[in-house]
Amino acid sequence: MKPFAFERARNVDHALSLAAAAPGARFLAGGTNLLDLMKLEIEQPETLIDVGRLPLADISETAGGGLRIGALATNTVVASDPRVRSRYPVLARAILSGASVQLRNKASMGGNLMQRTRCAYFMDPAKPCNKRLPGSGCSAMGGLSQATALFGASEFCVAVSASDMSVALAVLDAEVETVRADGSVRRRPVETLHRLPGDAPQVDTDLAPDELILAVELPPPPSGGQVWRKVRARASYIGALASIAVAGDRVALGAVAARPWRARAAEAALAEGAAPREAAEAELVSASGEDGRKTLVRRLATDAIQESRKGSRS
Amino acid sequence: MSTVRDWAAPNPITENRSGLIGKPVDRYEGRLKVTGTAPYAFEVETPSAPLYGHIVSATIARGRIAGIDLSQAASAPGVVLVWSHLNVPVQAQRGAKLNPRSQRGSNPALGSDRVEHYGQSVAFILADTPENARAAEARIRITYEASDADLDFGSFIDSAGPVPGEEDARIGDFEAGYSASAVTVDATWFSPLQNHAQMEPCATTAWWEGDKVVVHTSIQMVKGGQHALAETLGIPSDRVRLLTRYIGGGFGGKGQSYDDLTLAALAARESGRPVRVAYTRRQMFQATVHRPAVQMRVRLGADGTGRLNAMALEAVTHCARNSTFVEHAAEFARNLYAAPHRLTGHRLVRLDIPHAGAMRAPGEAPGMLSLECAMDELADRLGMDPIALRIRNEPEVDPDNAKPFSIRQLVRCMQEGAQQFGWDRRNPTPGAVRDGRWYVGMGMATAIRGNFLLPAKAGLRLTGDGLATLTQGMTDIGTGTYTILAQITGETLGLPLDQVRVELGDSDMPPAPGSGGQFGAATAGSAAFETGMVMRRRLAELATSDPRSPLYGEDPLLMDFANGNIVLGNRSESLATLASRAGPEGVYVEGSISPAADARDWSQHTYGAQFAEVGVDSVTGEVRLRRMFGVFAAGRILNAKLAKSQITGGMIWGVGAALTESNAVDPRYGSFLHQDLGGYLAPVHADIVNLDAVLLDEADDKANPMGIKGVGELGICGSGAAIANAVYNACGVRLRDYPLTPDKVLAALEAKGL
């Protein structure tokens, strides 16, 4: 781990002014991903701004009948909150499948959204990786890793998002509320918080360097069943080969793109009365990549949509 | 030299009067480990503040270092010294042996400009903190001249060559027997490259005391490490004291020393300070040994009743270019089933990747993944129950050499296992059982693994406080060696466990061969037992020849030992009193064990039967273990809890082999795809929901005086095959390319139109 400066933010304004004053600084919350990456020298921030003690952990009802979850609410707290469990079971289940209990106890709402890809070549500093070292190339292309993007990849990067939670948030039309050093507060859908790689895969999100996540807001849940599925070689402690969140007539896919992937084509097909399998196939029209992965997504999406229509909330 | 007949007489262990043998006592060092206070090699106290070394690894597969600039790193914060092949202190040439009796040759680090595999050490940084040492790596500039490298096992399988010094084992005429068989199976399995992935990385703390170096390191074999370092440094081995008291997993991968040992010793000498060096997690994958991939072709020919007429297992595997290691995946098949016409053998491919080496149950672990599934296929083809097929081919004597079995309870393992597992509830028709979207199936396989006894010694001191302290240059790699040695010593001397101490892992102690090949318990334990018997004789002589003893003048051969006393009839004296009278140091004896002269007149193995029930997700191809059960026969059991932990741990190892564990060489770089525990998938708790094992009552009087056998590797054998057979029973898909990951299962389901 490279030496770095450590600052503890006293309040949100302090955190933002520290960030504005220290280019290249990173906010530190639970640290479950950032500290690992620093030990591997994949992340080498000169300054860490500890926001972990800021009062941003509340979960509260919104006027519109939704739920506002503070950026520092731990994954454990969110997944066990009775309101989340009863109204947004897809979110609770996604979080529970996302990490071991030790990690969930530390990991925060905002930090989970900010976690970086687990692409094996991104994780190996000895290999070319445009996300880690812009311009060095992409060794995942033509490589051995199966976990590459089906949607939204570019010629520079095929990495996928590692966050399960964000897939559920995307299907729930959740919004991220942020604040910048100049005091401006902004909201954007979780779905578009993360950038597609384009020609700058090193930039994961559209957050400005001095922009801090304050909360995630969930609108009231859509009517209909909610389903969460995560496919993986072992039962725990590993990222998805593919995942899916279904809520009512909405569908989001995970581990298939650099962002949680709202399956708009599938949703449109369903709205026009298509069968689940036809909807899944409609989404896959725009997919690139290995046939086996497409097959998995087709079968998974077909089955999960069917299950949601049985009114099941598993 | 003794014969097995000498071992047949009753002795304190077989009589087990105080009941310590077999008792499920807690681990001797358990409290230290669970409280984090057991000092591992990297954590031992040093005589003064230590420096920290960091090893820099090559990033090409093969070639030479054309240029290396250390100057920027040398001036980095906290850096004490930086070495490459250009300035590393002189070491003996690789493999050199100054002393022909050394168990290992020289193992130099940074010895030349040649790079023989990705991850090989190419530079070394010593600094005041581990952070500074690692940070300085970025300042080293290396230019390589890369050469062509052979990296992809698959593309060289057809050109595999014979193993030097080895011939195929042929009995009868396999080809004729096979072609004359009514029912045949001919299929090929593939077991991938696997990594040991020990929790504790290779690590060394070293310092010099005058011309003698003291090293604490993580290694399975004390003498091997001591000799390798002595030969590397070109000094007599009595100037190397090697200690290895706690080891966080070995699995065969720490059967040898690595560059952490060599470089720590060199850097401590150069700097005059204690030095700590640990491999990074990445280096554990890339710069230690691995289990090589194996391709296995099995051919079985049987008559209509299932009697095997011909059997062949031909294995192709790989090792490093300058190595001789062979994963003997076909060997176990020589001793398992009767068949008049037999062929087994190995072929080898040499690759420019890190060294292949021993990993838990070398040979059987991948090997049984083929033959035990081929037997399942044969049973299917014959319409026979897989257990009935195996019983039909149970041999009377060892089918390889016609030797009698010391004891073989394989059939009993299968029958008791079937009953307890509920094998009769298995529907033999594949794909017939559903649970929601899951296909559910059951499978079984047998287990066989050799048993070995090697020469070993031990020391035992009885002191005036009544404590017995066993000392042995043995290792406990997390298996429970401390605990069983305490039980053996306590039972032999009639002492309660709280009066027994065990000290291991020190090259100054009487030597034992260490941990490996599941020979540790039988070998070290038998030496401890014999040493205890030497102590009994010495104490009996002391008591009966001393007028101050109430036993004075009696026949020493009549003495008994119980409850901390030496006893004859209603007279007794405490061992503490005896030891006090002997002097301030108490009484010290040494003892030893050697293999019996006629030990090889019997075929001697451990056996088992594995049963698995799996679910296969009909949508995604995910396989989940629902329950697993095994019955094993492995001689007398020293500690019911630890033996079961070893067995079930082995079964779980097999779960990984069947379902998740695999590494691949990236042909563009020569590196492994997975270099951490997040990518290399060993089973986690959630994968193992219901797994249990039973050990049969058994004593093998041909094995050693205690009738015990090893259990460390038996549980792995056949475990993965039982799972693969259950996958077939669940969904009707035969997959022969391990591990059975969702992508492969799904492709097979699709291909079947499921």
Q: Say which amino acid occupies B288.
A: T
CATH code for the domain in which residue A270 is found: 3.30.465.10
Backbone angles phi, psi at B695, to 5 degrees: -110, 125
Q: What is the pLDDT of residue B509?
A: 98
| Residue positions counted in chain B | 754
Confidence of residue A314 (pLDDT cuts 50, 70, 90): very low
User: What does the pLDDT average to over B487-503?
Assistant: 98
Alpha carbons A137 and A129: distance in angstroms, whole number? 5
Which residue segment(s) compose the domain that B210 sits in?
A: 43-58+62-148+202-278
User: Which of B681, B684, B746 is facing A292, going by the closest CB pair?
Assistant: B746
Alpha carbons B197 and B360: distance in angstroms, whole number? 12
Active-site pick, B327, B491, B661, B713? B713
CB atoms inside a 10 Å sphere around CB A206: 13
Q: Using the beta-carbon criterion (under 8 Å), do A120 and B679 form an inter-chain contact? A: yes
Q: First CA to last CA across chain A, in angstroms?
A: 42
Looking at beta carbons, which residues of chain A come within 8 Å of B678?
118, 123, 237-238
Alpha carbons B152 and B159: distance in angstroms, whole number? 12
Q: Based on the domain organization, do B654 and B673 belong to the same domain?
A: yes
pLDDT tens readout for residues A239-274: 999 999 999 999 999 999 999 999 999 999 999 999
B435 exposure class (CB count in 10 Å sphere: 0-12, 13-18, 19+): exposed
User: Which of B138, B673, B681 is facing A144, going by the closest CB pair?
Assistant: B673
- Phi-psi region at B60: left, alpha or beta (left = phi > 0; alpha = psi -120 to 50): beta
Q: Based on the domain organization, do B104 and B233 belong to the same domain?
A: yes
Q: What is the pLDDT of residue B2?
A: 83
User: Which of A229, A233, A303 is facing B741, going by the closest CB pair?
Assistant: A233
**Cα dihedral B109, B115, B117, B119 in deg (nearest 10):** 60
pLDDT score of A313 more than 60: no
Min Cα separation A145/chain B (Å): 7
A124 shares contact with chain B (CB less than 8 Å): yes
Alpha carbons B571 and B543: distance in angstroms, whole number? 12
- Of the candidates B550, B551, B579, B574, which has an alpha carbon nearest to the alpha carbon of residue B564? B574
A117 shares contact with chain B (CB less than 8 Å): no
CB atoms inside a 10 Å sphere around CB B391: 14
Identify whether the C-beta of residue B340 lies closer than 8 Å to the C-beta of residue B372: no
Nearest CA in chain B to A143: B666
Alpha carbons B334 and B401: distance in angstroms, whole number? 9
Among B551, B579, B594, where does a domain finish?
Answer: B594
Confidence of residue A147 (pLDDT cuts 50, 70, 90): confident
Residue with tokens 């600052």: A7
* Interface with chain A: mutation pick from B284, B622, B661, highest number of A CBs within 10 Å: B622
Both structure tokens of B682: 């060993």
Cβ contacts of B667 within 8 Å, gap of 6 or more:
B151, B152
Whole-number percent of chain A with pLDDT over 70? 99
User: What does the pLDDT average to over A122-147?
Assistant: 95
pLDDT tens readout for residues B500-536: 999 999 999 999 999 999 999 999 999 999 999 999 9
Instruction: Tell whether B707 is covered by a domain.
Output: yes
Instruction: Tell whether B741 is covered by a domain.
Output: yes
A277 shares contact with chain B (CB less than 8 Å): no
User: Which of B138, B620, B664 is facing A299, going by the closest CB pair?
Assistant: B620
Residue by residue, DSSP assigns chain A as: ----EEEE-SSHHHHHHHHHHSTT-EEESS-TTHHHHHHTTS---SEEEE-TTSS---EEE-TTS-EEEETT-BHHHHHH-HHHHHH-HHHHHHHHTTS-HHHHHH-BHHHHHHPPP--TTTS-TTS-BTTTSTTS-BSSTTSS-S---SSS-BTTB------SHHHHHHHTT-EEEEE-TT--EEEEEGGGTBPP-TT-TT--BS--TT-EEEEEEEPPPPSS-EEEEEE-SSSSSS--SEEEEEETTEEEEESSSSS-EE-HHHHHHHHTT--HHHHHHHHHTT--S-HHHHHHHHHHHHHHHHHHHTT---
User: Which of A2, A143, A295 is facing B135, going by the closest CB pair?
Assistant: A2
Instruction: Tell whether B5 is covered by a domain.
Output: no
- Of the candidates B699, B645, B705, B245, which has an alpha carbon nearest to the alpha carbon of residue B491? B705
Report whether the peptide linkage leading into residue B739 is cis, meaning its omega lies within 30 degrees of zero.
Answer: yes
* Interface with chain B: mutation pick from A139, A141, A234, highest number of B CBs within 10 Å: A234
Min Cα separation B360/chain A (Å): 21
pLDDT tens readout for residues B569-602: 999 999 999 999 999 999 999 999 999 999 899 9
Nearest CA in chain A to B135: A2
Instruction: Tell whether B181 is covered by a domain.
Output: no
A294 shares contact with chain B (CB less than 8 Å): no
Residue with tokens 């959630």: B686
Helix-strand-coil split of chain B, %, nearest 5? 30, 25, 45
Q: Based on the domain organization, do B109 and B241 belong to the same domain?
A: yes
Q: Using the beta-carbon criterion (under 8 Å), do B669 and A127 form an inter-chain contact? A: yes
**B interface toward A at CB cutoff 8 Å?**
59, 131, 134-135, 138, 282, 437, 617, 619-622, 624, 659-660, 664, 666, 668-669, 671, 673-676, 678-679, 681, 683-687, 739, 741-743, 746-747, 750
Looking at beta carbons, which residues of chain B come within 8 Å of A2?
131, 135
Identify whether the C-beta of residue B361 lies closer than 8 Å to the C-beta of residue B478: no
Cβ contacts of B635 within 8 Å, gap of 6 or more:
B451, B522, B606, B698, B699, B700, B703, B707, B708, B709
Residue with tokens 């445009």: A130
Nearest CA in chain A to B622: A233
CATH code for the domain in which residue B221 is found: 3.30.365.10
Nearest CA in chain A to B740: A233
Q: Using the beta-carbon criterion (under 8 Å), do A292 and B743 form an inter-chain contact? A: yes
Q: Based on the domain organization, do B476 and B554 belong to the same domain?
A: yes
- Of the candidates B298, B359, B376, which has an alpha carbon nearest to the alpha carbon of residue B330? B298
User: What does the pLDDT average to over B379-386?
Assistant: 98
Residue with tokens 């066990």: A80
Strands B51-57 and B275-278, by their bridges, are parallel
The total domain count for chain B is: 3
Identify whether the C-beta of residue B561 lies closer than 8 Å to the C-beta of residue B424: no
The total domain count for chain A is: 1
Alpha carbons A239 and B678: distance in angstroms, whole number? 9
Backbone angles phi, psi at B560, to 5 degrees: -120, 160
Q: Compute CA distances B502 → A162, B144, B486, B487, whole Å.
A: 48, 50, 6, 10
Q: Say which amino acid occupies B563.
A: N
Q: Using the beta-carbon criterion (under 8 Å), do A237 and B660 form an inter-chain contact? A: no
Q: Based on the domain organization, do B225 and B351 belong to the same domain?
A: no
Q: Based on the domain organization, do B423 and B323 belong to the same domain?
A: yes
Q: Based on the domain organization, do B261 and B393 belong to the same domain?
A: no
Q: Compute CA distances B393 → B106, B165, B302, whole Å.
A: 48, 31, 10
Q: Based on the domain organization, do B396 and B488 belong to the same domain?
A: no
* Interface with chain B: mutation pick from A123, A124, A127, A241, highest number of B CBs within 10 Å: A124
Q: What is the pLDDT of residue A311?
A: 62
User: What does the pLDDT average to over B447-462?
Assistant: 97
Identify whether the C-beta of residue A42 lies closer than 8 Å to the C-beta of residue A132: yes
Q: Compute CA distances A121 → A111, A127, A141, whole Å.
A: 22, 6, 10
**Cα dihedral B716, B449, B253, B107 in deg (nearest 10):** -170
Q: What is the pLDDT of residue A2?
A: 82
Min Cα separation B280/chain A (Å): 10
In this prediction the ipTM stands at: 0.96
User: Which of B131, B686, B750 is facing A295, going by the closest CB pair?
Assistant: B750
Identify whether the C-beta of residue B198 lies closer than 8 Å to the C-beta of residue B246: no
Min Cα separation A266/chain B (Å): 18
Min Cα separation B78/chain A (Å): 12
Alpha carbons B642 and B520: distance in angstroms, whole number? 14
Looking at beta carbons, which residues of chain B come within 8 Å of A46?
none
**Sign (positive or negative) of CA dihedral A181, A185, A191, A196:** negative
A278 shares contact with chain B (CB less than 8 Å): no
Q: Give, as one character, the DSSP assignment of residue B477.
A: S
Q: Using the beta-carbon criterion (under 8 Å), do B620 and A233 form an inter-chain contact? A: no
Q: Based on the domain organization, do B352 and B465 belong to the same domain?
A: no
User: Which of A3, A145, A231 is facing B622, going by the closest CB pair?
Assistant: A231
Average predicted confidence (pLDDT) for chain B: 97
Q: Based on the domain organization, do B588 and B480 belong to the same domain?
A: yes
Strands B623-633 and B605-617, by their bridges, are antiparallel
CB atoms inside a 10 Å sphere around CB B669: 21
Cβ contacts of B429 within 8 Å, gap of 6 or more:
none
Q: Using the beta-carbon criterion (under 8 Å), do B743 and A241 form an inter-chain contact? A: yes
Q: Using the beta-carbon criterion (under 8 Å), do B686 and A124 form an inter-chain contact? A: no
Active site annotation includes B43: no
Instruction: Tell whether B49 is covered by a domain.
Output: yes
Among B559, B574, B594, where does a domain finish?
Answer: B594
Rg (CA), chain A: 19
Looking at beta carbons, which residues of chain A come within 8 Å of B620?
229, 231, 296, 299-300
Identify whether the C-beta of residue B149 lies closer than 8 Å to the C-beta of residue B320: no
Q: Using the beta-carbon criterion (under 8 Å), do A237 and B686 form an inter-chain contact? A: yes
Rg (CA), chain B: 27
Which residue segment(s) compose the domain that A151 sits in?
A: 1-49+56-314
Q: Based on the domain organization, do B491 and B361 belong to the same domain?
A: no
Identify whether the C-beta of residue B252 lies closer than 8 Å to the C-beta of residue B196: yes
Strands B456-462 and B587-593, by their bridges, are antiparallel
Looking at beta carbons, which residues of chain B come within 8 Å of A296?
620-621, 742-743, 746
Min Cα separation B119/chain A (Å): 10
Looking at beta carbons, which residues of chain B come within 8 Å of A241?
742-743
B703 exposure class (CB count in 10 Å sphere: 0-12, 13-18, 19+): buried
Both structure tokens of B323: 């190595």
Q: Based on the domain organization, do B443 and B587 belong to the same domain?
A: no
Alpha carbons A225 and A312: distance in angstroms, whole number? 5
Residue by residue, DSSP assigns B209-257 as: ETTEEEEEE--S-HHHHHHHHHHHHTS-GGGEEEE----S--TTTTSS-
| Element housing B481 (H / E) | helix B481-493
Identify whether the C-beta of residue B730 lies closer than 8 Å to the C-beta of residue B614: yes
Q: Using the beta-carbon criterion (under 8 Å), do B619 and A142 form an inter-chain contact? A: no
Nearest CA in chain A to B618: A299
Average predicted confidence (pLDDT) for chain A: 96
Backbone angles phi, psi at B47, to 5 degrees: -65, -25
Q: Using the beta-carbon criterion (under 8 Å), do B686 and A235 form an inter-chain contact? A: yes
A235 shares contact with chain B (CB less than 8 Å): yes
Min Cα separation B740/chain A (Å): 9
